[in-house]
Chains A and B, each alone.
Chain A
Amino acid sequence: MAPSTRSEDGPLTAGGDQAAPRPGRAGHQSAPSRQGPQNHPNRADGIGKRSLTGRLWRRLPKGIRTPVGLIAAVVALAWIAMCLFGAQVAPHDPLAQELPRFTPPGSTAWLGTDELGRDVLSRILSGARVTIGLALALVVMSMVVGSLLGLVAGYFGRWVDETVMRFTDLVMAFPTVILAMVTAAALGASLFNAVLAALVVSWPQYARVVRSMVLSLRTSEFVASGRLLGFSPARSIRLDILPNVSGPTLVLASLDIGTAALLLSGLSFLGLGAKPPTPEWGSMVSSAVQHFDKWWLGVFPGLAILTVVISFNFLGDALRDAFDPEAGEA
């Protein structure tokens, strides 16, 4: 058993907040909710019980079955669509310097043009793939890396656990942005390297959460009995532990997409991410600073970041509620 330092479990970075299913809850049986049955029909839906849409509707996580939830879902879906088709939908070539510079929003360019005469709308639409795609990649990578380490640490315990957790502490004690900056500087500015740099700072939360879940699972009866039956660690991990750990980890990951998008666009804002002329929202905001009186240069990419982060965070919240109804609304 690791020394009982508080720091090795609970702490959450400023980015990932209470979303982490805290270890204490892993085996926690939720008390009967005071809010009545979970599947109490939501008054807002008003859709007949028997229709197909009605049934699908009921399957959605509760958080989405509200007007705000619907808006968030639509916005998130729209942005995902833009990831796939943004470049095709864009009215102009996002790289073409063919319009007059600094055209205000209007009929020539709906969201105006930038300092090189490029269409801001087209750059935002094509940039969706960059910002959201990379955020997803980052989340998947940190989830895989972090979970693996957490799994290994939690399952094997002893010095393996000690080593992994001390390393996690080390990374978490580091100032996030500065560590990412130094990493990005060491590797050179590029999108891929920005993701790597962000990965360096974002895996520990997964490692911690997975580790503590594994710790409590390991002592549970079914894992212990597996061990008695002579199951190999690999089998035990695959059959007993992974299925129990994956749900909460995915929820944590879904809540992390927004944070990842913020971190990556922040790095690009500092010139450590996307290379020009790639349309990336953070670097668009960054160059807009120099032209603050052309408000459309900064306002629209900023709103793009904001809507992506907020809608993904909302959906992540809803997903978490679906897994853990207690925390959600009645």
Chain B
Amino acid sequence: MKSLSSKRPVACLAALAVVVAVSACAEPEGGTGDKDRSGSASGQIVIDTTFDVKTIDPGREYEPTGQILVKGLYDTLLTFADEDTTKVVPDLATYMANEELTEYTLTLEEGRVFSDGEPVTADDVVFSLERLQGLKGNPAFLLDGVSVEKIDDATVKLTTAESAPALPAILATPSLGILNSKVVKDHGGATDDSDTAEEFLNGNSAGSGPYVLEKLDVSSEAILAKNEKYNGPQKATYDRVILRNTEPATQKMNVERGDSQVALGLSGDMAESLAPGVKIESVPSATVVFLLVNADPAVSDLTSKPDLVKAIKAGVDYDGLLEIAGLGAAQATGLVPSVFLGALDEGDALKYDPDAAKAAVAAAGAEGQPITLSFPNDIDPTGLNMTTLAERLQSQLGKVGLNVKLAPAPFATEIDAYRSGTEQIGLWYWNPDYMDPANYLAFGPGETVGLRSGWPEGANAAIEQLVSAGYTTGDETERQKVFEQWGKAMNAESPFVPLLQPGSNVAYQPSVTGVHYNPVWLINVAGLGAN
């Protein structure tokens, strides 16, 4: 009933729309042509990771992605070799310690220079370490109670009141990278909180590392460029290193399609189904995932019962957890992960024993009583999905008669409950701050993490003694013994249930060499080579 002509204008509009649509759809083909260029390792390497970085000012940074970047930009006094994460080796300096391990004398290597060609001196070292202390930023605790003193232009002495066997490992932490004091001071740097150099250091680097900063956008991308003045032992292979903020699923797609050369954040499941042609470096990470079962009766009548802790320790089917954690994961034999001195043997690990668990549940009178399991759900330590893990735990503990309710929350919200010790059961993880088992003594009664589980000072005298021995024992064999004793006692009596170490799964193109996992800085970009 409408005239033919009335349709024509509409047809014109529609045709125009189609033309636009088609031309838009045709664009990706032009785009794929560009990909060949980025796919090859022509002096550039693309690393995909999930960004967790607020700043790369060494004195302030303390997030995983920040560690990767700072490690590439700043040399530290001491370090660990890429292949061996148990032994401290010299980087900018060599060290000597007195017998009590209270005085460390560091002698700078000769001739090392910053990216502007100026030599690295004792003044730079003193400035960098004192700045870290004075800024009172996230990493400041690393040098608590350490005084820094310049002896001469090439020598620095560090002194502590008590013996500090962990200090060399701490000196290898990227946050303790040595800054070019002159450059930093010129941009507002100071060794107290009048310092304003952060903004400068987030746009430029002032170190002696193999790379210099070209660009940092904390939400999307960081680009490092080769430091032409670098004269240390580990010269950069690639002209440019590009780190991109990418979701884990996309990381897998990218590395399989050759759009990136390295993917750092794959989960165990993703690593298992990786396409052929992509290589994988898979080892148990040094991240320990654990349950805390709050010992404070004010928080929960149930979880504070020792029988309930026993029930959970025996009621978890540890192999069943490894199944969902996927490639590279291993049961945590104790709170100290396997790469450290003093880690326990497999035989000392907690064991699944459903009958004992059921008996303990009955003894605690906890059958069917609701208990809340809180965990952060927007963070995946080393690719492990916390929600999946919590669901598996809930199902396992349900089988031995416990009625576990899951309470996920964003990390930012849940961390507060965790830190103030108000969770009934908490599912958390611990990344090592530095490469030494002393880091894990924080789980002791009255210590940082112990308090979060309602475990105050005086709760367990035997373990507390082992903790103080752990902090101060210098002799390596003695130390190992102390930590093993401590670990066994913690497995038996602490309100913590070590669950697993998720696998660290780094997928990479065959063209890349030198991929090694490091517990503190994940990957050393300067160590990456090309075939």
The chain A residues found within 8 Å of chain B, CB to CB, are 34, 95-97, 101, 115-116, 185, 188-189, 271, 275-277, 287, 289-293
Contacts and interface: CB of A to CB of B under 8 A. Distances in A.
A101 B321 CA distance: 13
Main secondary structure on chain A at its contact with chain B? loop
B185 interface: no
Interface in B390-404: 390-392, 394-395
Contacts of A290: 248-249, 267, 269-270, 385
A276 B392 CA distance: 11
Contacts of B88: none
Nearest to A292: B249
B387 interface: yes
Contacts of B273: 293
B407 A275 contact: yes
B448 interface: no
Main secondary structure on chain B at its contact with chain A? helix
Contact of A101 (B323, B377, B378): B323
B385 to A, nearest CB: 6
A271 B388 contact: no
Interface string B187-222: 000000000000000000000000000000000000
Interface stretch (B19-27, B307-315, B408-416): B408-416
Contacts of B409: 188-189
Contacts of A292: 249, 252-253
A101 B324 contact: yes
Contacts of B249: 289-290, 292
A291 B269 contact: yes
Given A101-B324, A277-B394, A292-B249, 4 more contacts: A97-B392, A185-B413, A271-B408, A293-B273
B339 interface: no
Contacts of A277: 391, 394-395, 406
B324 A276 contact: no
Contacts, number: 58
B406 A115 contact: no
B410 A271 contact: yes
Contacts of B410: 185, 189, 271
Given A189-B408, A290-B249, A290-B385, A271 B377 contact: yes
21 contacts: A95-B395, A97-B395, A115-B324, A116-B392, A116-B395, A185-B410, A188-B409, A189-B409, A271-B378, A271-B410, A275-B407, A275-B408, A276-B406, A277-B394, A287-B387, A287-B388, A290-B248, A291-B269, A291-B270, A292-B252, A292-B253
Nearest to A277: B391
A304 to B, nearest CB: 20
Contacts of B388: 115-116, 287
Contact of A116 (B247, B248, B391): B391
A185 B408 CA distance: 11
Nearest to B274: A293
Which of A188, A271, A290, A292 is the most central at the interface, judged by chain B CB atoms within 10 Å of its CB? A290
Nearest to B323: A101
A94 to B, nearest CB: 12
Which of A95, A277, A289 is the most central at the interface, judged by chain B CB atoms within 10 Å of its CB? A277
Of all A-B residue pairs in the complex, the 8 with the closest CB atoms, nearest first, are: A277-B391, A97-B395, A276-B391, A276-B387, A289-B249, A292-B249, A276-B406, A271-B377
Contacts of B267: 290
Nearest to A35: B1
Contacts of B252: 292
Contact of B406 (A96, A185, A275): A275
Nearest to B266: A290
A49 B249 CA distance: 59
Contacts of B385: 115, 287, 290
Interface string B13-36: 000000000000000000000000
Interface string B237-262: 00000000001110011000000000
B502 to A, nearest CB: 14
A290 B395 CA distance: 21
Contacts of B253: 292
Contacts of A96: 395
A291 to B, nearest CB: 6
A234 B217 CA distance: 60
A87 B1 CA distance: 52
B269 A116 contact: no
Contacts of A276: 387, 390-391, 406, 408
A48 B273 CA distance: 60
